[in-house]
Structure 1
């Protein structure tokens, strides 16, 4: 798991097809230990967040929501469990890729993410409907 698994070509293709804001859905399972003695994976994640949130904001993004995963409500339990979720808004895929591919992220942030997470999945989403109208200038036919 790491930056080497970043789907750069797939994301660039998506950006060519449909430019505009995205929300990245982050699913995380933490390590018991954060890799530095007494610290937990959660502690390492807090260090990671402290460094990355300013980088996200510098690119016009923002942290929208975070929460603790409590239980599977629908679907099969495939054994892949998550501890924590975060929804992160970026004005474009380009802004996300700029951060992820920066030397600052690779050298200062990613080591903390790796220490924090036993598993980390990021799903790129585009808004089709939102009660909050956060990102998309285009709304599909869904309504309240």
Structure 2
């Protein structure tokens, strides 16, 4: 999974048809060893995170929650279980796209993400209900 798989067309249409905040649900499965040989996949993810959090903030976003995936509670998965889940708020889809396509992300973050992850799925969500509603600025 490379940055080339970013669904620009679908995300842009979503923002055009229904503008507003989104939460990106990240499902990650780590390599046992970092693809560049520098530690584990988790080590590479920590390098990725150290760079990415500042970029998220620069694009108006915020990290809401991170956690270890402990197992599937309902349903079947044809793939190995996910290792980690991260929820990231962005005020607009455009902010997310701008962050993902920024020169800083592509040069500083993306190499660590590729080294860290055996698989990485990002699901774009819009709030339907939340006890923790984040007001639109």
3-state SS of the aligned residue for 1:127?
A: coil
Q: Residues of 2 paired with 1:37 and 1:46: CA distance?
A: 15
Tell me the residue number matched to 2:84: 84
Q: Residues of 1 paired with 2:92 and 2:3: CA distance?
A: 19
The CA deviation at 1:105 is 0.8
2:19 matches 1:35: no
Q: How many residues align?
A: 137
Q: Residues of 1 paired with 2:9 and 2:77: CA distance?
A: 31
Tell me the residue number matched to 1:19: 19
Q: Which moved more, 1:30-39 or 1:112-121?
A: 30-39
Tell me the residue number matched to 1:110: 110
TM-score normalised by structure 2 residue count: 0.95
The CA deviation at 1:79 is 2.3
TM-score normalised by structure 1 residue count: 0.91
Verify the 8 A CA contact 1:128 1:136 in the aligned structure 2.
no
Q: Deviations over 1:61-112 (max 9, x none)?
A: 1000001011110001322420000000001000000011111111111000
3-state SS of the aligned residue for 2:57?
A: helix
Q: Residues of 2 paired with 1:116 and 1:64: CA distance?
A: 21
> Bigger radius of gyration, 1 or 2?
1
Q: Residues of 2 paired with 1:37 and 1:131: CA distance?
A: 43
Tell me the residue number matched to 1:124: 124
What are structure 2's unaligned runs of at least 5 residues?
Answer: none
Tell me the residue number matched to 1:72: 72
Q: Residues of 1 paired with 2:12 and 2:77: CA distance?
A: 32
The CA deviation at 1:135 is 5.1
